[in-house]
Amino acid sequence: MAAVQETVDRVRQIDVDQYRYGFETIIESEKAPKGLSEDTVRYISAKKNEPAWMLEWRLEAYRRWLTMEEPKWARVEYPKIDFQDLYYYSAPKPKKTIGSIDEIDPEILETYKKLGIPLREIEALEGVVRPEGERRIAVDAVFDSVSVATTFQKELKQAGVIFMPISEAIREHPELVKQYLGTVVPTSDNFYATLNSAVFSDGSFVYVPPGVRCPMELSTYFRINERNTGQFERTLIIADKGAYVSYLEGCTAPQRDENQLHAAVVELVTLDDAEIKYSTVQNWYPGNSEGKGGIYNFVTKRGDCRGDNSKISWTQVETGSAITWKYPSCILRGDNSRGEFYSIAISNGYQQVDSGTKMIHLGKNTTSRIISKGIAAGKSQNTYRGLVTAHRKATNARNFTACDSLLIGDQCGAHTVPYIEAKNASTLFEHEATTSKISEDVLFYCIQRGLSQEEAVGLVVNGFVKDVLQQLPMEFAVEAQKLISISLEGSVG
Amino acid sequence: MTALLEVKDLQVRVEDREILHGLTMTVNGGEVHAIMGPNGSGKSTLSHVIAGKPGYEVTGGEILFKGEDLLEMEPDERAAKGVFLAFQYPVEIPGVTTMNFLRTAVNAQRKARGESEYLVPDFLRKVREVAASLNIPMDMLKRGVNVGFSGGEKKRNEVLQMALFQPSLCILDEMDSGLDIDALRVAADGVNALRSPDRAMVVITHYQRLLNYIVPDHVHVMSKGRVVKSGGKELALELEESGYAQYEDAAA
Ligand SMILES: Nc1ncnc2c1ncn2[C@@H]1O[C@H](COP(=O)(O)OP(=O)(O)O)[C@@H](O)[C@H]1O
Ligand SMILES: [Mg+2]
């Protein structure tokens, strides 16, 4: 039997019960009643002790949402979602407000351990002191809908960096939240973003003041734990003039039979000379071998290079979810601003990925770079969808796009859908695309040298995605590399 | 003494066409065997079947390696047990540095044999030593596996791996193809340095030329899927003069 055929067969046998992150933490939780109405919105807002303006903002979004329709243009298929059959809010029942590690439910801590949250972060959670000079990562862990632990607060505070759950920011820094929330992704933006605006439960808020380089990587771990709880994260990151911050987002979710909806919104704003680097590793439950279950990941992520000479860079490693619908984008408003999108999207089993980016060139001399690596295995469908536009005033806009797809087996599909619009004669947009099958000869070469079939596939795929992996912060890259092997290996094992 | 490699009456099909029609040969430790034959006679097929490349159906006969049934083993297991194939056309693996590849492979083999992984400094020292003997600059090892390598560099990279893995059976498929005389000499010297009493080499070649550098103990002539004549090293010279035509008739 041909090597690729063998891979395909083994992929077919994925025992998803082995999904590494599929377990459930049994803790008491507090939920909003099922379904969505103005009352649900009020319930969530009240739970969060929100000021009246925030409730109003949510209600307006909710009313808008009632008039909207689900988008249908993506190359993904799924049964109709019954929005009245979901819970919109679920929180581990806190005894009191959580201030320190000791107060965190030991079961929750155990969950983090099972998740394989990098050791140093467990250490951080457990308050282990590390040697001076070692680079640290601050974690804001989102467990279902409530942030349960935030570390390194003090040091960040000294630098003037605000890093806290957005629900707290709404109460403690209303002026900043009001000034920026919804200015990149307006409440009316799209069906899922609007839904998020109405019911978002929690997420992260980051503000880096002028001239400050954030002293550590900021990191959030998401997890969807409750059955049938849509998770609606809302993240807002602002880098003020000359500021820099690198933000890491990692996610896992326990295994579920029912599909779980996840509709997050992430907004990034950079002012003059500022830079935000946003990295994601997403490995939510992809569904079982028959394509049952798994996360619906309908996310709106957008960055606004509002100031001159500012830069926003998205890096994503997407290996999980049953359906991914995600286009982290950059609005290049400031002159000389730069947008980057580096993506690895792996689909296996029955996963469907429709992901890409939008680079919208508005300012002069704006540049953007898109490097997308799609890997499709099993019976999955993997689509890159990208838009690059230059407006009339965007003189000398430059874009370089390279989309490479790798197919493992012959029952999967890779598709590239680039839209390019230049309304300015000085624009220079370059687009390259390749699609190839993983070569049997290459696999056999590796295997002849002693690698197992799985190791060979992992090695070849990691080589294929190298350009993107290099964009990730070091410690994240190592994990991502393992994850890539696991997501295909698990498929071959 | 058990032979290192015993191929007995091997019959192989590819896509319903029989390519090897009952091939027999025995290779003992310390020996160098040359397999010669015209294009299409089944030389590469034999090497692939020994290494376990998918796509070939063995319909008869057997292959014993150190007395064990080789055909029962997975190809990576064969590698760990000491079967090495230097490919006629080594592939390129973009994005995977040669150094990373070598380390992954060495450690995979060691793990399969129940040995501990190489420590990085030990590994580096070993690679440096071997690379120097083959005129391979360390810079080359930082590039993707075979990516942008010249023909000679690719073949030297094969010999480098052979020297690192220390296999007991080395099959060299058309090592001379695409090499100029200087490159050929470097590669052949590397191979000769690996000759040892507990290691055997099977050198597959179309031309006699290579055998001036790697001198065989035995020569087999293959034609149309069979060994049609075996002899000592003089057989290669004889072939050089008379060509393969007589054997094509013999096989038919
Ligand atoms: N994958 C394959 N599919 C079909 N025919 C093949 C395949 N591989 C080899 N053959 C055929 O088998 C015969 C022997 O080929 P090969 O072993 O490559 O010969 P050699 O190495 O001696 O030149 C040739 O006729 C060739 O066309
Ligand atoms: Mg050949």
Q: Closest Cα partner for A218 from A146, A141, A129?
A: A141
Quote the pLDDT of residue B118: 84
- The H-or-E segment that residue A468 falls in is helix A466-469
Q: Is A261 helix (H, G, I), strand (E, B) or coil?
A: strand
- The H-or-E segment that residue A373 falls in is strand A367-376
Q: What is the pLDDT of residues A457-467, one digit of tens each?
A: 989 999 999 88
Are A450 and B105 in contact (CB < 8 Å)?
Answer: yes
Closest ligand 1 atom to the C-alpha of B45?
A: 17
Q: Residue B145 pairs with which residues in a beta bridge?
A: B93
Take atom 5 of ligand 1 and give the residue whose Cα is closest: B14
Quote the pLDDT of residue A98: 43
Percent of chain B with pLDDT over 90: 67
How distant is the alpha carbon of residue A209 from its chain centre?
24
Q: How far is the CA of B43 from the centre of ligand 2 (A)?
A: 6
Check: pTM over 0.90? Answer yes or no. no
Sign of CA dihedral A290, A293, A294, A298: positive
Quote the pLDDT of residue B206: 85
Residue among B75, B87, B144 minimizing CB distance to A447 = B75
Are A463 and B96 in contact (CB < 8 Å)?
Answer: yes
How does strand A90-92 pair with strand A29-31? Answer: antiparallel
Mark which residues 429-468 of A lie under 8 Å from B by CB. 439-442, 444-453, 455, 459-460, 462-467
Weakest-pLDDT range from A83-87, A251-255, A489-493, B147-151: A489-493
Best residue in B57, B115, B145 to probe A by mutation, most A CBs within 10 Å?
B145
- What is the phi/psi pair of residue B56, to 5°? -110, 135
- The answer, yes or no, to whether residue A356 has pLDDT greater than 80, is yes
Percent of chain A with pLDDT over 70: 76
Residue of B nearest to A459 (CA): B96
**More confident call, A20 vs A37:** A37
Q: What average pLDDT does the segment A290-304 reach? A: 89
Number of H helices and E strands in chain A, helices first, is: 13, 23
Q: Closest Cα partner for B115 from B123, A458, B163?
A: B123
Quote the pLDDT of residue A143: 54
> What's the CA gap between B172 and B162, in Å, rounded?
10
**More confident call, B68 vs A151:** B68
Residues of chain B contacting residue A442, judged by C-beta atoms under 8 Å apart: 91-93
**More confident call, A203 vs B51:** B51
Quote the pLDDT of residue A99: 45
- The answer, yes or no, to whether residue B27 has pLDDT greater than 70, is yes
- DSSP letters, B178-242, are T--HHHHHHHHHHHHHT--TT-EEEEEESSSTHHHHS--SEEEEEETTEEEEEE-THHHHHHHHH
Q: What is the pLDDT of residues A211-238, one digit of tens each?
A: 999 988 887 654 444 444 558 889 999 9
Tell me how far CA of residue A322 lies from CA of A115, A227, A350, in angstroms: 19, 16, 7
> What's the CA gap between A138 and A156, in Å, rounded?
9
> What's the CA gap between B150 and B181, in Å, rounded?
14
Report yes or no: A140 and A150 within 8 Å, Cβ to Cβ: yes
Number of domains in chain B: 1
Question: Is residue B15 lining ligand 1, measured as CB closer than 6 Å?
Answer: yes
**More confident call, A77 vs A389:** A389
Report yes or no: A196 and A265 within 8 Å, Cβ to Cβ: yes
Report yes or no: A387 and A359 within 8 Å, Cβ to Cβ: yes
> What's the CA gap between A192 and A190, in Å, rounded?
6
Quote the pLDDT of residue A148: 46
HEC string of A146-201?
EEEEECCHHHHHHHCCEEEEHHHHHHHCHHHHHHHCCCCCCCCCCHHHHHHHHHCC
Tell me how far CA of residue B44 lies from CA of A81, A263, B53, B175, B222, in angstroms: 56, 55, 11, 12, 11
Are B53 and A444 in contact (CB < 8 Å)?
Answer: yes
Confidence of residue A321 (pLDDT cuts 50, 70, 90): confident
Closest ligand 1 atom to the C-alpha of B173?
A: 21
Domain range enclosing B29: 5-251
Are B90 and A453 in contact (CB < 8 Å)?
Answer: no
Report yes or no: B101 and B93 within 8 Å, Cβ to Cβ: yes
Q: What average pLDDT does the segment A306-330 reach? A: 94
Report yes or no: A64 and A187 within 8 Å, Cβ to Cβ: yes
- The answer, yes or no, to whether residue A15 has pLDDT greater than 60, is no
Quote the pLDDT of residue A132: 41
Q: What is the pLDDT of residues B109-120, one digit of tens each?
A: 999 999 998 888
Largest CA distance in chain A: 67
Confidence of residue A12 (pLDDT cuts 50, 70, 90): very low
Quote the pLDDT of residue A3: 38
> What's the CA gap between A346 and A351, in Å, rounded?
9
Any idea which residue has 């060691």 for tokens? B110
Residue B42: partners with Cβ closer than 8 Å, 6 or more residues away: B12, B19, B20, B23, B222, B224, B225
Residue A400, token pair as written in the block: 């370089």
Weakest-pLDDT range from A16-20, A265-269, A484-488: A16-20
Report which residue type is found at B217.
Answer: D
Q: What is the CATH number of the domain that holds B129?
A: 3.40.50.300
Mean pLDDT, chain B, rounded, equals 91
- What is the phi/psi pair of residue A38, to 5°? -60, -35
ipTM reported for the complex, 2 dp: 0.96
Quote the pLDDT of residue A227: 47
Are B93 and A6 in contact (CB < 8 Å)?
Answer: no
Q: Is B11 helix (H, G, I), strand (E, B) or coil?
A: strand
Best residue in B45, B76, B143 to probe A by mutation, most A CBs within 10 Å?
B76
Quote the pLDDT of residue A233: 87
Quote the pLDDT of residue A203: 84
Edge-to-edge order in the sheet of strand B68-69: B17-27, B5-14, B57-65, B68-69
> What's the CA gap between A262 and A224, in Å, rounded?
9
Take atom 27 of ligand 1 and give the residue whose Cα is closest: B40
Residue A226, token pair as written in the block: 């409750």
Any idea which residue has 């698990």 for tokens? A490
> How many CB atoms are located within 10 Å of the residue B1 CB?
5
Quote the pLDDT of residue B75: 97
Residue among A3, A445, A462 minimizing CB distance to B90 = A445
> What's the CA gap between B73 and B5, in Å, rounded?
14
Report yes or no: A429 and A420 within 8 Å, Cβ to Cβ: yes
Q: Closest Cα partner for A429 from A471, A373, A473, A370?
A: A370
- The answer, yes or no, to whether residue A9 has pLDDT greater than 50, is no
Mean pLDDT, chain A, rounded, equals 81
Report yes or no: A216 and A248 within 8 Å, Cβ to Cβ: no
Report which residue type is found at A424.
Answer: N
Q: What average pLDDT does the segment A33-38 reach? A: 85
Closest ligand 1 atom to the C-alpha of B174?
A: 21
- The answer, yes or no, to whether residue A270 has pLDDT greater than 50, is yes
Tell me how far CA of residue A268 lies from CA of A245, A311, A312, in angstroms: 11, 11, 8
Q: Which of B19, B21, B39, B89 to mutate to test the pocket of ligand 1 (most atoms within 8 A of CB)?
A: B19
Q: What average pLDDT does the segment B151-157 reach? A: 90
Rg of chain B over Cα atoms, rounded to whole angstroms, equals 18
How distant is the alpha carbon of residue B167 from its chain centre?
10
Quote the pLDDT of residue A256: 54
Percent of chain B with pLDDT over 70: 98
Q: What is the pLDDT of residues A67-123, one digit of tens each?
A: 998 888 878 888 888 888 887 877 655 444 444 445 555 665 565 555 544 434 444
Best residue in B14, B88, B101 to probe A by mutation, most A CBs within 10 Å?
B101
Residue A15, token pair as written in the block: 């025992």
Q: What is the pLDDT of residues A471-482, one digit of tens each?
A: 887 767 777 777
- Whether chain B has a CB inside 8 Å of the CB on A107: the answer is no
- DSSP letters, B54-93, are TT-EEEEEEEEETTEEGGGS-HHHHHHTTEEEE-SSPPPE
Q: Please report which ligand is nearest the Cα atom of B56.
A: 1
Q: Where are the beta strands (DSSP E) in A32-165?
A: 90-92, 137-143, 146-150, 162-165
Q: What is the pLDDT of residues B182-195, one digit of tens each?
A: 888 888 998 999 99
CA A105-A111-A116 angle, 5° bins: 140
Quote the pLDDT of residue A72: 84
> Averaging pLDDT over each range in A453-467, B66-80, B145-159, which range is the top one?
B66-80
Are B76 and A451 in contact (CB < 8 Å)?
Answer: yes
With residues binned 3-state (H G I as helix, E B as strand, rest as coil), the percentages for chain A, rounded to 5, are 25, 35, 40
Confidence of residue A18 (pLDDT cuts 50, 70, 90): very low
- The answer, yes or no, to whether residue A376 has pLDDT greater than 80, is yes
- The answer, yes or no, to whether residue A124 has pLDDT greater than 50, is no
Q: What average pLDDT does the segment B134-144 reach? A: 88
Q: What average pLDDT does the segment A371-389 reach? A: 93
Q: Residue B84 pairs with which residues in a beta bridge?
A: B170
Report yes or no: A312 and A290 within 8 Å, Cβ to Cβ: no
